Amino acid sequence: MTQPAVTGSSQFPSRNATILVIGGAEDKVHGREILRTFFERSGGAEARIAIIPSASREPEAIGNRYNTIFQDMGAQSIQVLDIRERYQGEDPVWQNYLDECTGVFMTGGDQLRLCSLLADTPLMEKLRLLVQRGEVTLAGTSAGAAVMGHHMIAGGGSAESPNRSLVDMTTGLGFLPQTIVDQHFHNRNRMARLISAVSSHPDRIGIGIDEDTCAMFEGQDSIQVVGKGTVTIVDPGEMSYTNAKHISSIDPISIFNLRLHVLTHGDRFNLPGRSIELPEQPMTA
């Protein structure tokens, strides 16, 4: 089966772009490895960071928490874009601030809330353009990770065989249109729902990200894993058959010849080749 073309609302980011997709519950207290990676990729001491807490029901509290973290790291400037209504996404003040930003961080919460507030707003179109050009580093954690694809997992269950009723899909923000992202992955037993999502969208790559773990997309070429857990790649590029379109929503799905990779800290996945970049150290028996 040849790999289908990827379509969606966004183009691939430029080769200079960096997007950090975080599985949630990242370390905010001790080494802060993932958050520090975002900070450094955003310019370190020269970083000018925008925090978007719109997914949260308590945006002021979560925005202030990340504000304190990036202040402690030494960011040059930080602004919390506390957007609670769609009309605020049209405010030129926020759009002008993005022009000065080197990093944008989207917090956790509810991905449906985040998309309902920001999808198709001038602010989000501006951010998408800056990311595509590689002019800003983007990060999203938990709900902020789920929105990265064109097709987004809005919710669903776990601990069942793959089936269409196990996953609720909608449209995300499209920063990484070639992917379907699931977060809190092994922590919440979400393998079956990611497989269910991929079976309906075999032109996408499924990315399942554990807590305190990040899939760092670097341009068009590679994903690098940062953090304590794993990133699971579900690649249907060579899928030979699925019954997903011919069964009821509650029937179990057959899906043949999926390719599965489980990556840990430092591992890399090559996006164009859909292949693992082997580590320098050989495996030992």
Q: Could you give the residue numbers annotated as active site?
A: 142, 160, 184
| Phi, psi of 50, deg, nearest 5 | -110, 130
Are 39 and 73 in contact by the 8 Å Cβ rule? The answer is yes
Q: Give the burial string for 82-96 (b: 16+ CB within 10 Å, else e).
A: bbeeeebbeeeebbe
User: Distance between CA 130 and CA 264 in Å, rounded?
Assistant: 29
What residues does 276 pair with on adjacent strands?
269
Strands 241-242 and 179-183, sheet pairing:
unpaired
User: Distance between CA 112 and CA 152 in Å, rounded?
Assistant: 9
Are 179 and 235 in contact by the 8 Å Cβ rule? The answer is no
Burial class (CB in 10 A: 0-12, 13-18, 19+), 240: exposed
**Token pair belonging to 281:** 């150290």
Are 194 and 160 in contact by the 8 Å Cβ rule? The answer is no
User: Distance between CA 134 and CA 258 in Å, rounded?
Assistant: 32
